[in-house]
Structure 1
């Protein structure tokens, strides 16, 4: 199972850059090592071949005795301490040989590699490359070279390469980290803008750097998309405002006319019909007022620059406002409030409380209780309202926040279906979150507003 941090695109990008860096370094180092090793071996063979040709020429010109004498002289007082010599007769026995060297005349190969004793070496043996050359009298001449210097150079080169590999791994990790940071930084502004736009700041745009690279083009398309969304939302908002304004005036005139008719003497049936018509007109006017206010709240910037206020005092005022109406139905309204500072619009937060308490008391049965709690948490101010009413099915809890959405069982109750829409708009403008939970029986409403100087929401 993959580690959780490997799921991060930035981590994968950093690893990919580091791996590419290391692979390129290993391939380059291996190529250089093989090239140098091959070159050193070729030089050693050339030296051995030249030396063997000279000794063979001594045998041809002066005979085998002169060759033996020459070999003995070179072994006794070597000009090159790494040189190895041997002469084998027809039977393969060594006539003369460098001390510590074993017989190797039985092989049919022209070039052989073996280990020979070396008293001056710490481990006592060194690799030898040798050339076997048959002579005219049936003997075999062996001329070799201890690869002492070459092996030391290659070992030093390998140690240096390993140290360089460690440095390359560190540099690769650093380059990968810087690359991922650069990519994340380019995307961070896009992410931050998307988050703030989602919070209601529709006028924000992603800054462009003018490089016209893939990130800059993405930011430009993202800004174009935001422009289009803002235009569409502005058109809907203006249409809603115009409809509300245009219909509110004739509805007001209609209500005033119905009031005039109701003041005139008439039969009781007509008065009842007029009372119902006035009530329906008042409901329509309240609905349009709520629509206008909802549109204004959604068009406002987030409330992060609003003044600080004591939320507990505001909740206490709302509870005090509804205590008499709750008492008339035998509903006990309890409040447990902790002092909690938030930043926000006092009127909007009070309307939020009024709507939530109104819903709780509207659906709570008589002789029950509605509990209101406010507490300060590390995440912010947590407001919780519990009632013992019928509650809301889990499948419907998100839908009831939409405009004009009401449960089938609540269709006949008074209201416009905009109360919870207003509540959600106010909560979102203040950077918070609202959830509906099962109280068993009843409904639990939880609202979390962010603390002072904190942008995080629940």
Structure 2
């Protein structure tokens, strides 16, 4: 019975993965193909028109890259049995790299960032960057009417806390406990593109660093808090 149950779970995950590939990859790919054809066939576009279309292609490409990265990371992190590449991480640098994927949001002044002055953090640089990208991507997708998303990095004595908040329509607190499960999507979010694996990857990354992550409904929005223990302290001169 346990064997057949395991097979059923594997088949369900495989079907969910196919749905992601067929829908969430097809949407940005269609944008890239359609916009490229428009650029090639219309020689009368002015400079601003061409720039707008190229921006659309760039945005769709970033969406595809992010989704493919999440699919690969989901497979790699699912066992929680991988070798992390720990090193001293400067969170200001990590945030800077992560924000390159949200240039349009920064341009529209849709992100409020507060970073406490803190020491270097001992962790996996690449995974921590992916953690921030996925948290921000989720917040921007589910924020109401392009309201601001807030990112706060808080340094306490024994841990580093990452807080991401976005305004949202009412969400049942009982449903929030499931949002870190792979392929889980809220029933009222079917019109929003997404794979349902981004926050599951966040949980895996936080767990691999010995931390905790939780979501709560507060102030007409959703607050996600990731708490990472400080495993090693830098001796700064």
TM-score (norm 2): 0.65
Deviation at 1:368, TM superposition (A): 3.2
Give the CA deviation at 1:372.
1.3
Tell me which residue corresponds to 2:144. 365
2:98 to 300, 318, 339: 318
Q: Which runs of 5+ in 1 are unaligned?
A: 1-227, 264-281
- Please report how far the alpha carbon of residue 355 of structure 1 lies from its aligned counterpart in structure 2 after TM superposition: 1.0
**Bigger-Rg structure (1/2):** 1
Q: Is the 8 A contact 1:303 1:431 kept in 2?
A: no
What pairs with 1:251-290 in structure 2 (closer than 5 Å)? 290=70
Q: Assess if the C-alpha contact under 8 Å between 1:382 and 1:447 holds in 2.
A: yes
CA pair 336-289 structure 1, distance change in 2 beyond 3 A:
closer
The answer (yes or no) to whether the contact 1:311–1:340 under 8 Å persists in 2 is: no
1:295 aligns with 2:82: no
Give the conservation status (yes or no) of the 8 Å contact 2:80–2:204: no
Q: What secondary structure, in the 3-state scheme, does the structure 2 residue paired with 1:343 have?
A: strand
Q: Deviation per CA, 1:103-140: give whole Å up to 9, x if none.
A: xxxxxxxxxxxxxxxxxxxxxxxxxxxxxxxxxxxxxx
Deviations 1:401-435 (A, max 9, x none): 11221111111111111111111111111211111
Distance 1:407 1:336, change over 3 A: same
Query: Deviation string for 1:366-424 (max 9, x for gaps)?
Result: 46332211122133111111222226421011211112211111111111111111111
Q: Does 1:404 pair with 2:179? A: no
Structure 1 residue 332 displacement after superposition: 4.3
Residue 346 (str. 1) matches residue 129 (str. 2): no
Q: Which residue of 1 aligns with 2:50?
A: none
Q: Distance in 2 between matches of 1:310 and 1:286?
A: 22
1:336 paired residue among 111, 115, 122: 115
Describe the SS at the equivalent of 2:127.
helix
**In 2 relative to 1, CA 327–383 (structure 1 residues): closer, same or farther, beyond 3 Å?**
same
CA distance in 1, matches of 2:83, 2:219: 34
Q: How many correspondences in the alignment? A: 197
Indicate whether 1:307 and 2:87 are aligned.
Answer: yes
Cross-structure match for 1:414: 193
Higher helix proportion: 1
Q: 1:203-228 CA distances to partner (integer Å, 9 max, x unpaired)?
A: xxxxxxxxxxxxxxxxxxxxxxxxx9
What displacement does 1:297 show? 1.7
The 3 A distance-change label for structure 1 pair 340 and 294 is farther
What is the deviation of 1:296? 0.7
Q: Which residue of 2 aligns with 1:394?
A: 173
Distance in 2 separating the partners of 1:283 and 1:304: 26
Are the aligned partners of 1:341 and 1:451 in contact in 2 as well (CA < 8 Å)? no
Tell me how far 1:326 sits from its aligned partner.
Answer: 4.4
Higher relative contact order (CA 8 A, sep 6+): 2
CA distance, structure 2, for counterparts of residue 432 and residue 315 of structure 1? 19
